Amino acid sequence: MSAVLLLRRIRAYFVRDLQLELSYRFAFFLRVLSVLAVVTTFFFVSRIFTGGGECPCANSPFAQWRDPLAAWITGLAVLNYFMTGFSSLANAIRSEQAQGTLEGTLMTPISVTTLVVASSAWDFVQATFFASLYFFFGWAIFGVNFRGSFLLAFAILLLTTLVLASIGILSASFAMVFKRGDPFAVFLGTGSALFSGVFFPTQLLGSGFNHISRALPPTYGLDGIRGVLIEGRTFGEVRDSVFTLLVFLAVLLPFSVWVFSRAVRRAKREGSLIQY
Amino acid sequence: MPPTVTKQDETRTATGADVRARSTADDAAEVATGDAASRVTPSVGSPHVGSAIVARDLSKTYPVPLARLKRLFRRKSDTPTEALRDVNLEIREGEIFGLIGRNGAGKTTFAKIIATLVQPTSGGVVIHGFDSVRDEERVRAQVGLASAEERSFYWRLTILQNLSFFARLYGMDDRRARARIRELIELFELGEQARQRFGQLSTGNKQRVILARAMLNDPPVLLLDEPTRSLDPLAAAAMRSTIRRLAAGTPPKTVLLTSHNLAEIEELCDRVAVISRGSIRALGTPQQLRVEHGSTELVRVTARAVSREAAASALRPLALAGFSARAGDRGEVVCEFTREVGDARLDAALGALRAAGGEVVAVEAERATLLDVLERYERGREAGDHTGDAVELPK
């Protein structure tokens, strides 16, 4: 398939989702407000530690947490993005199945793979917008300063999202066959929040839980991004995280694509492709 | 270059077709224009050159989902469902072909296999030279499916937004999409509703949008499931006229029509197949099916100036099958009997009535309808006749 055709189809889904979103304007407004509410909440929680002045943990071993609000904002923004990377592919299948529109779209000369990728385009644009909103509110209203290269942070973000999208493809395969109930969502959704250092440093987990933390790709992504944005690290200083993410990607991407093609074949054989 | 032999190729070879299919990942834009090199080329003993759809030994059994897992946990599971069994069909280009049968007979499965939404268990279907499994993206460019499913649209988007979305999925650029959508909006008289949300449309208008979408990329094959369902009589007549025009157009469209409206099937279809329990039971023109499965007709003769008793006495000696005589609403006598189509009993009956002093004012004959044909197969099914041998009637 030519790149022009692929882009045309991605645009089709993007425009469709934008039009659908515009038909629910109030929901969008509420979501912006909820980001502001979350950032404000964490601002006041951070005051417990800083007491309104300099952070008492300035000399703590958790270098990325010397400004807790900056660490939380980064964690929440990135978690939002990671979850989109992970869940949007499966959600694309589920929502098309549930709406009954999957049959209509699959009657066009579009492969299931293209459908899944194209239909998650809007989710990524939306996730980018809301992730930026966390940083914007933190900077504009609560005076949080980020340093380091935003470009490098964004590159690590994309790499981590690709790794999570590979797991998302496994999740979509699961949705294709089992329709509901997704062990990957439970594992990554709650696992990332608890073990990847979104709300507290992973070092606090202790040696037993550290193994779980190290098995989760978001841990490396978040560590790299915080290192760049909060500590001002360079590429050379975060290359271990980048390398680990590349290994995850090399293993997970081909495997998940293989599993997905098997799941599509199975659903067609069972005649359950459009069921939910 | 010799073809790579795969399981699918073996199937095709067994049906007498030479598969020279290319990868399904090729540009779908090429599909729309047709790529002769990738098509299944009919060989000796193979389908008619002008065939639009060829099904060979097509069978579909829906497996029990997750059967192995259920067995592992010793859970009781259903048995696999046989939806199609050894279906052999050839639908010609430009033909309006009807498929009739009860709910669950296999009509939808057949249509969905052609539309690539379901894979066959064995055998296969070739659509304009492309195999429905190997060349699914190409097949989809050849086929427009208008299912009875309204939910396959985005209810919060307008007709224009919905059609634009699907046009882009077909790979159309904006200019081409706009022009095609304008044509279809005009064809289906949807101009006034074009900017209304799909969810706000009447059922009849939704049905029109479903058909408009099926024709977005101007496919040579249309699969129509109950196309006049929910349309008012005038709109239904207009739709039938549109279908006829499409089939007779240049290039002609091939239409596979599944419907429970047998009168519509009779009116529109060049040929009809009766499907029951996944097997094609009979195949022919509507007239052939009627004659083959109902060689008798019910005759109703209305006469005046004769009493019911006198008419009965005059006709009784002819030993007419199913004879009855009753008084009509305006004092006339209505006599009914059945006869073999074309025999001399009608003439004899009319002569006897005239001889009794009657004046014949009307003669009506009711031959078997497709409904009778269908009922006959269903009665056979209930009586345990599951031979599954299709009878193609002489042309």
ipTM for this model: 0.78
Confidence (pLDDT) at A242 = 94
**Taking 70 as the threshold, does the pLDDT of residue B39 lie above it?**
no
Confidence (pLDDT) at B69 = 67
Q: Give the residue from A13, A26, A108, A110 with the most B CB atoms within 10 Å of its CB, the best one to mutate.
A: A108
How do the domains of chain B map onto residue ranges?
A: 7-290, 295-367
B7-290 under CATH 3.40.50.2020, yes or no: no
**Taking 80 as the threshold, does the pLDDT of residue A1 lie above it?**
no
**Taking 90 as the threshold, does the pLDDT of residue B160 lie above it?**
yes
Confidence (pLDDT) at B63 = 80
3-state secondary structure at position B271: strand
3-state secondary structure at position B290: helix
Cross-chain Cβ contact A103/B65 below 8 Å? no
Band of the pLDDT at B394, cuts 50, 70, 90? Answer: very low
Cross-chain Cβ contact B151/A9 below 8 Å? no
**Chain-centroid distance, C-alpha B243:** 13
Band of the pLDDT at B166, cuts 50, 70, 90? Answer: very high
**Taking 90 as the threshold, does the pLDDT of residue B328 lie above it?**
no
Does the CB of A180 have a partner CB in chain B at under 8 Å? no
**Taking 70 as the threshold, does the pLDDT of residue B385 lie above it?**
no
Are the C-beta atoms of B169 and A108 separated by less than 8 Å?
A: yes
- Angle subtended at Cα A93 by Cα A92 and Cα A98, rounded to the nearest 5 degrees: 100
Among A32-36, A144-148, A235-239, B251-255, the minimum mean pLDDT is found in A144-148
Confidence (pLDDT) at B131 = 93
Region A103-120: mean pLDDT is: 82
Band of the pLDDT at B178, cuts 50, 70, 90? Answer: very high
Between B22 and B364, the more confident residue is B364
Give the other-Cβ count within 10 Å of B85's Cβ: 20
User: For B191-217, what is each residue's pLDDT tens digit?
Assistant: 999 999 999 998 888 988 999 999 999
Q: In whole numbers, what is the pLDDT of chain B averaged over residues? A: 80
The C-alpha of B193 sits at a distance from chain A's nearest C-alpha, in angstroms, of 18
User: For A19-60, what is each residue's pLDDT tens digit?
Assistant: 988 888 888 889 999 999 999 999 988 888 776 665 656 666
Architecture of domain B295-367 in CATH? 2-Layer Sandwich (3.30)
Of A127, A27, A142, give the one whose Cα is nearest residue A78: A127
User: For A73-101, what is each residue's pLDDT tens digit?
Assistant: 998 888 888 888 778 887 877 788 788 88
Alpha helices in chain B (DSSP H): 7-14, 28-33, 67-72, 107-114, 136-142, 159-169, 174-187, 203-214, 233-248, 262-268, 286-293, 308-315, 345-355, 370-382
A122: phi > 0 → left, psi -120 to 50 → alpha, else beta; which? alpha
Between B382 and B373, the more confident residue is B373
Confidence (pLDDT) at A255 = 92
Region A258-270: mean pLDDT is: 82
Does the CB of A262 have a partner CB in chain B at under 8 Å? no
User: For A114-169, what is each residue's pLDDT tens digit?
Assistant: 887 888 888 888 888 998 899 999 989 988 888 888 899 989 988 988 888 888 88
Band of the pLDDT at B48, cuts 50, 70, 90? Answer: very low
Confidence (pLDDT) at B76 = 67
Does the CB of A117 have a partner CB in chain B at under 8 Å? no
Distance between CA atoms of residues A68 and A198, nearest Å: 11
The C-alpha of A19 sits at a distance from chain B's nearest C-alpha, in angstroms, of 7
Region B243-253: mean pLDDT is: 86
3-state secondary structure at position B21: coil
Q: How many Cβ pairs closer than 8 A exist between chain A and B?
A: 112
Between B147 and B128, the more confident residue is B128
Cross-chain Cβ contact A99/B63 below 8 Å? no
Q: In whole numbers, what is the pLDDT of chain A averaged over residues? A: 84
